[in-house]
Structure 1
Amino acid sequence: MPAATTPTWDPSQYLRHADHRARPFADLLARVPALPADPARIADLGCGPGNVTVQLAERWPTAHITGYDNSPEMLARAEAYAGATAGGGRLDFAHADLTDWAPTGTYDLIVSNAALQWVQGHLDVFPGWLDALAPGGTFAFQVPNNIDAPLHALMRELAATARWKDRLSDVLRHEDSVHHPLVYLDRLARLGCAVDVWETTYMQILTGEDPVLDWVKGTGLRPVLTALADDPEARDAFVTEYRDLLRDAYPTAPYGTVLPFRRLFAVAYKGA
């Protein structure tokens, strides 16, 4: 898979749709069983601005939780949540790139929310992460699984046009950045886990002016915005063309604009 540009993240833009982005994490945690230790040791991979990492402290109040991310901007925002938790646990954050993150200790839960789609070859890191789980521990993640939706397809098609291909031909994520659900099930089951894999499509109702564009500015469009950051005129031109395509693909209704958003979930339980 060609490497996508490592995006520069904007926590404020990302958090503009915090409720929609946080819901899948809550749905994922609902399927995580009891952890083998109390206090538990938990790693949150790709923690972003930390707003969903705090859900881990609510579920396991005595746990020592570390959120890892490779974005200085996201980690700076997450630091507001760092410190002792109300239940006697601890929440901290550290810089790490998931392409080469190697656990240095034993964890009861390794969890990742909407991050692995940015990690090239992420299937290959699963064995090492599972080795770091305590017996009875869990590895759980969710990723967007809508790379074929107009949201992304139109972005790729525009980036491949004559005006943009020289600058953006190898910037965006490709169709194989997320695998078929059966691929994850098979890989994790062959590694000895009991596995629960499923998909959910959220019919997100967005409001405001060009809300789908506003949504994608916080995530999928970040590589383009990063690649064109040194040329504001070109950046604005691309965004305007893309905005017009999104308006046609996602029409506005009196109650808002519906953005169907499919996500893939996996919970892998390591037997005791």
Structure 2
Amino acid sequence: MTAPPAGNPAAPATAERERLNPLTSFAVAGSTAVMTTAAASWPWSLTVVAACIVLSLAAGTAHRVLPAAAAVMVPLGLSLLVLHGLFFPEGRTVLAAWGPARITAEGLDFAGQRTLQLAAVVMALLVFSFNVRVPDLVAALSARGVQGRFAFVLASTLTLLPAIARRARSIRQAQESRGLVISRSLVSRAAAFRLQAIPLVLSLIEDAGTRAAALEARGLGNAGPRTSYRMVPDSTLQRAARSVLVLLSLAAVVVRVVLAGTGG
């Protein structure tokens, strides 16, 4: 192993990330998403978003994580704002009204909290996706008894969000260069979404077929024992931490269900 180049500020962060097992990173991201959803608290969600921004800046992936998060959250946030901001049945404080549509303070508050909660979940998963190495994740899953093909498919799925965001952006740019104009009206946006979604889904299906053929050619569908030549470091402390995170996630879900059942 060669020493990291002198004067490279990203080298310590990279070395630290390489000592972290991918399953530990996945456990942190997954448990964060579960506990954020169960907590449904805007201070917690805001803390998670801030922590994800700091981690992506420290890892040098903020220039990829933040645009991908924006590509996912902007349409979701706008849809939540329209749905709950204008048509929130529990809204009492009416700020403006146009026929059946009413902008209420309660609806805006609910939409803002749900948007922040979703942003925390999306950013936690994106930080993991942009920092994990697929070969390391496949090796770690295989070492835990997960079959080779399933391990590769699972690892590819977990890291698919960045690829989808890049591909969707490329499709939109290509269609805009051919004359596609997206106005502010809902009809125009719906038509543009259909024109972009169809080639995106078709390209993902084609990519899945190519990956499946490559996996079959490399014998990942064959049964029998396997030998991995890629060693991924792990430790007792990390295994214990993963178990604690899983227990905390389950506890958060149980508490949320109990509170919902008692009206809390």
Structure ranking higher in strand proportion: 1
Which has more radius of gyration?
A: 2
- Same fold flag (TM > 0.5): no
More helix by share: 2
Given the two structures, how large is their TM-score scaled by the length of structure 2? 0.25
How does the TM-score come out when normalised to structure 1?
Answer: 0.24
